[in-house]
Structure 1
């Protein structure tokens, strides 16, 4: 399922310009092909993760997988922007149900530290592999049979994954609803997260006033605060607040937000830059992305765990996100008549290596210390941090790019030059997100000798994997 989600994200990115042309999306509408998915995904992850704890991860996973597959058919058959956006929203619901319990299932399936660390590295490797497959196949499919194919490809994956899951995953009952299901908490967090993501993505819509977006954000924040108060009192909380007592895990989830804000927004912007400024076609764009996920796959699978075992998580996170930030700064200086092999490809190798170090490290840190009965909630929290970061990054970078492009055009720049100016500023902002992750790691992630006994699990996992 994780392969499907990653594959879907990268494959759709490459197809965005063609989707815009064929279905008549405006520039502001086009972002909703991504935002509709994020809105549902981010809003439902915590609820989905806790449902896995209460009724069993297997049931939640299978329902989500089935819904994601059906929604892919809806998106592939879409004759209008509205139906495509609806299909993407349903994909987000299904993706949230299935993805929220994946990390928790990994922890339960591989309780031994060594096996668990290797599984986490493989999780990151599959993510990068899915991105690479999606980028290449997205370009090939879009160019040969049209954008509809990027959604049809999910169907056979979904069917096979469903059959395999039925055979491999053992039935489980979960901890049950004996003390209540916390319906009020579910409504507050789902409404708060969904409204918060909606407020963020509305920033990029010129038709929506800044005041309205701010008011929506305030309401969302109040709902989240009310949710946290509720969790302190609920008999069976949706998100047990004891999860946040682990400073390492809390800081790691904050770093996840900044990292995905940089990475997700960068991916969206670079696809448009490669096609709009450098003039690449869909297939060439997919191939152009390949160095980054290839490096993520190699570094995360073969080097990250060993380096964490030797040096601890903090220096690895600093180096990883530092490399990501450096690459984004270099991208912000890419010329309008740049050569891909000189100006883009080396940077993607650098960024891929950095993210390959940081991703499995931050995931292990975020999941370390979660009690068995809280692993679904911890998994849902980590995935929520990823999607919230992606939504923030996409909204901020899209807004910045559009504003800078308009200003450059008004100043007399040509169309392509104005686009380049907008994307350059967006890459610089993405670098700032990555640097914020570096700062959080320096301040809040402990050195190995500073770790209390219960937090040494991170180092133990990495040591066993190495």
Structure 2
């Protein structure tokens, strides 16, 4: 049986869990609320895509900046900024009178969310060591997936019984709890005297991603030949290229390219891109299709993914511990392959819809695969980088996962053929399986298990 954690470690873990919970809770609520948002504010699939992607654009772009700020100015300060900003943006979303205000508020929420997850994981990696770190990340993973339980349930219940707007205000509760725990922790972090912020790099990254994603989302409506599509796409790619060039030359990069010299770091991030792109595609398509295609209520659509969350809560910490003992390679390979198989099970969904026979088997296998994958993946990536750079390492990994989700959601119109009917749902399931398969193969080919420390010889007695 594992020994109980010291008081400071318990507080740090609770803070990390709650701060991340805020961001994850919002992500699961919004998918269930998308059809209701469309019914009230209008805009169709494009509004639904921008509701998701406005958040992911600022989150994915600024999370790198937040990681640098976290290492330079202190994780606790960055957490406080993120929590307060996230709460304010949540209120603005709940009050949005039209799609434009909603999208702007979602972008602001993503900017605040960028300060939450990297600082949370950096607190863990700077507080826990060796096997205890794997255990802590496993606990963090399993508990933060509680957001996957309450998120769809809250979103569905609020949509069906009250309003989708009120669902976003639930963030106030974990935000207040986390701020209170930060006061109890009672630690103050000192600013590094040589700390610098690369505002030019952050601007190039944000504008580059925003322009490219705008083109991908609007392309089904305007076509590739429209200057309103190819011009921002070209400008976005150019700005992102300039961002990468600047990271090689600036004294204070927000994306230190030397991190990618560590094999497990760059390989793990490639696997992350495939796996989290697939997760974003699956979460969006399943939540929307079950309501608009299969005719389920928002509450039932929210409950549909409950088996995934239960599997995560029950098994994530265990697989995190096993990966700490045996290395992450096998787990990072087997998990995505299981999720690829789970995605293909969704091809059984037919016009004669049955959740129990057509969707539930996929959810169970998907949940097992996700539990096998997430903790080992996180441990492998963060374990490849020295502790003092854990904030930026965590930020890079989170940026990769968010940008991957951002790009996949932006191309959903192309994946499903412009319409999320049964055929589009099946195409999305196949695309999810392909992405997961790629993630598993990359892990098998690239990840290396850390060398085991030699055990001391038993002393004669």
Task: Pick from 8, 14, 21 the counterpart of residue 3 of structure 1.
Answer: 21
How has the CA–CA distance of structure 1 residues 437 and 373 changed in structure 2, closer, same or farther, with 3 Å as cutoff? same
> What SS does the aligned partner of 2:421 have?
helix
Matched length: 436
What's the counterpart of residue 11 of structure 2?
none
Task: Pick from 221, 224, 227 the counterpart of residue 237 of structure 2.
Answer: 221
Note if contact 1:75-1:84 (Cα within 8 Å) is conserved in structure 2. yes
Note if contact 1:49-1:101 (Cα within 8 Å) is conserved in structure 2. yes
1:334-413 alignment, distance < 5 Å: 334-403=349-418, 405=419
> What SS does the aligned partner of 1:172 have?
coil
Note if contact 1:47-1:190 (Cα within 8 Å) is conserved in structure 2. no
TM-score (norm: length of structure 2): 0.88
Q: Unaligned stretches of 5+ in structure 2?
A: 1-18, 456-461
Deviation at 1:281, TM superposition (A): 0.5
Note if contact 2:211-2:232 (Cα within 8 Å) is conserved in structure 1. yes
What's the counterpart of residue 160 of structure 2?
143
Note if contact 1:104-1:375 (Cα within 8 Å) is conserved in structure 2. yes
Using the alignment, how far apart are the partners of 1:75 and 1:378 within structure 2? 30
Task: Pick from 224, 244, 247 the counterpart of residue 260 of structure 2.
Answer: 244
What's the counterpart of residue 28 of structure 1?
46
What's the counterpart of residue 411 of structure 1?
none
TM-score (norm: length of structure 1): 0.88
Note if contact 1:197-1:388 (Cα within 8 Å) is conserved in structure 2. no
Using the alignment, how far apart are the partners of 2:118 and 2:83 within structure 1? 11
Residue deviations 1:19-45 (CA, integer Å, cap 9, x gap): 111222322222211111111111111
Deviation at 1:393, TM superposition (A): 2.1
Instruction: Say which is worse superposed, 393-402 or 323-332, in terms of deviation.
Output: 393-402
Correspondence 1:188 to 2:190 = no
Task: Pick from 209, 234, 246 the counterpart of residue 224 of structure 2.
Answer: 209
Using the alignment, how far apart are the partners of 1:210 and 1:52 within structure 2? 43
RMSD value, Cα: 2.3
Note if contact 1:6-1:130 (Cα within 8 Å) is conserved in structure 2. yes
Deviation at 1:137, TM superposition (A): 1.7
Task: Pick from 215, 233, 244 the counterpart of residue 249 of structure 2.
Answer: 233
How has the CA–CA distance of structure 1 residues 210 and 400 changed in structure 2, closer, same or farther, with 3 Å as cutoff? farther
Residue deviations 1:108-147 (CA, integer Å, cap 9, x gap): 122x212211111122112321111111121112211111
> What SS does the aligned partner of 2:442 have?
helix
Note if contact 2:61-2:202 (Cα within 8 Å) is conserved in structure 1. no
Residue deviations 1:193-219 (CA, integer Å, cap 9, x gap): 44444444444x523636654553443
Using the alignment, how far apart are the partners of 1:379 and 1:129 within structure 2? 21
> What SS does the aligned partner of 2:411 have?
helix
What's the counterpart of residue 463 of structure 1?
none
Correspondence 1:115 to 2:132 = yes
Task: Pick from 161, 175, 178 the counterpart of residue 178 of structure 2.
Answer: 161
What's the counterpart of residue 290 of structure 1?
306
Note if contact 1:397-1:429 (Cα within 8 Å) is conserved in structure 2. no
Deviation at 1:427, TM superposition (A): 1.1
Note if contact 1:201-1:392 (Cα within 8 Å) is conserved in structure 2. no
How has the CA–CA distance of structure 1 residues 174 and 371 changed in structure 2, closer, same or farther, with 3 Å as cutoff? farther
Task: Pick from 41, 48, 59 the counterpart of residue 77 of structure 2.
Answer: 59
Q: Unaligned stretches of 5+ in structure 1?
A: 406-417, 461-466
Using the alignment, how far apart are the partners of 1:315 and 1:335 within structure 2? 34
How has the CA–CA distance of structure 1 residues 356 and 282 changed in structure 2, closer, same or farther, with 3 Å as cutoff? same
How has the CA–CA distance of structure 1 residues 73 and 270 changed in structure 2, closer, same or farther, with 3 Å as cutoff? same
Note if contact 1:240-1:374 (Cα within 8 Å) is conserved in structure 2. no
Using the alignment, how far apart are the partners of 1:135 and 1:251 within structure 2? 32
What's the counterpart of residue 193 of structure 2?
176
